[in-house]
Amino acid sequence: MNRKQNIPFLTTRSLHPENQESPIHFLNEWLTSIKYFYRRNHFSYPLLSQRHFWIHIDGMVHKPRFFHYDEILSMPSKSIIVPLECAGNQRANFKPKVYGEQWEEGAISQGKWTGVPLRDILEKVGFSQNAQEIVFVGADSGKKPGVHENIPYTRSLPLEKAMHPDTLIAFQYNDKPINYKHGYPFRLIVPNWYAMASVKWLNTIKVIDYSYKGPFQTDDYVYYPYKDNDKDKFPVTTLNVNSIIQQPLHLSILNTGVHEINGMAWSGRGRIKELQVSFDKGKSWKNATVHQLSNQDYAWSRWSYIWKVEEKGEYTIYARAKDSSGQIQPHTPFWNRKGYGYNAVARITVKVE
């Protein structure tokens, strides 16, 4: 009997709705295989029918109409490599603890999304000069605590972000039709924003001249800095500069010798410029080697550092990324009541025996 390759699995956080984490510490691909793409749902999966192959565009447009799947596939498309990260990624790291799905570090996955720029579709229908936001409705719906009727998953984008040439109506992931669980037939892809903006099973697009107030942007996906009141709240949008240490694992036991410390780093505010590691809890920092895909502005970077350790003992290792906009991971995370946007310095402790 032959040895088989040992393979990782998604880590289950909940089943109804399905929320499963990517086994990020055991993956080193640039493009996450669809089977390892994290799954994050607010509702049960939608029952799809023929009408989901038509995207309806209405609101303040000159010619409201439907676009069929075939028509969208016949339009000029582009492909971009984009990491999608759940705003709640690393929520489990907050202290004090916050309620909600206890995502560790795997609510992030990256792949090649292919689609038609949303602006091309909007230009086909034309829209009012008073347009302020574009609203996106997914085919998934259900009950949300505090809301009485069934509601579909709905989010808006400011016009400027919607018109960015890389905001796509995607129909392929890694050169295949998007997997059912990840939004087939259409998923909005909004580079640089947390993934709640990248609406799955996209079905309706509406142009509006006001500020949309749906619960997925006025209740959830809002930073609440205080435990007991909503003062100073502001919406979750752009990915914070962030990194993780993939290997070695936290609290693992290593031999003396040479080890590669490695991980990933990413930001919604620019390219990763620097990844530093510290062995003295941040007093001094050393540069790691940063590996990047050329011509991919959004893709995560991978980094590595060769560590030679001869003395037995316990070691704490920090890693922090800096991006081209000058943002750097903070020592202390920005605690917020719903646990979004964790991006404090990555930390592990290992024992060398």
Residue with tokens 């393979």: 7
194 close to 86: Cβ distance less than 8 angstroms = yes
User: Which DSSP letter does residue 145 get?
Assistant: T
Name the residue nearer to a copy of itself (CB basis): 103 or 307. Answer: 103
Q: 274: which 2 tokens?
A: 């620097």
Q: 250: which 2 tokens?
A: 């936290």
Instruction: Give 306's strand partners.
Output: 260
Name the residue nearer to a copy of itself (CB basis): 20 or 141. Answer: 20
Name the residue nearer to a copy of itself (CB basis): 63 or 281. Answer: 281
Nearest Cα to 84, choosing from 125, 33, 38? 38
- Taking the complex as a whole, the smallest distance from the CB of residue 253 to a copy of itself amounts, in Å, to 5
Name the residue nearer to a copy of itself (CB basis): 180 or 234. Answer: 180
- The CA-CA-CA angle for residues 241, 246, 252, to 5°, reads 135
- Taking the complex as a whole, the smallest distance from the CB of residue 112 to a copy of itself amounts, in Å, to 24
Name the residue nearer to a copy of itself (CB basis): 17 or 225. Answer: 17
- Taking the complex as a whole, the smallest distance from the CB of residue 5 to a copy of itself amounts, in Å, to 9
- Taking the complex as a whole, the smallest distance from the CB of residue 9 to a copy of itself amounts, in Å, to 4
- Taking the complex as a whole, the smallest distance from the CB of residue 295 to a copy of itself amounts, in Å, to 32
- The CA-CA-CA angle for residues 58, 63, 69, to 5°, reads 70
Name the residue nearer to a copy of itself (CB basis): 152 or 191. Answer: 152
**Chain residues that interact with a copy of itself, rule: CB under 8 A:** 1-4, 6-12, 14-18, 20, 23, 25-26, 44-45, 47-48, 97-100, 102, 145-146, 180, 249-253, 255, 349-351, 353
Residue 242, H or E segment: strand 242-247
172 close to 72: Cβ distance less than 8 angstroms = no
Round to whole Å and give the CA distance between 180 and 196: 17
- Taking the complex as a whole, the smallest distance from the CB of residue 26 to a copy of itself amounts, in Å, to 6
- Taking the complex as a whole, the smallest distance from the CB of residue 110 to a copy of itself amounts, in Å, to 19
Name the residue nearer to a copy of itself (CB basis): 250 or 271. Answer: 250
CA pseudo-torsion sign 97, 101, 9, 87: negative
Q: 137: which 2 tokens?
A: 């409705």
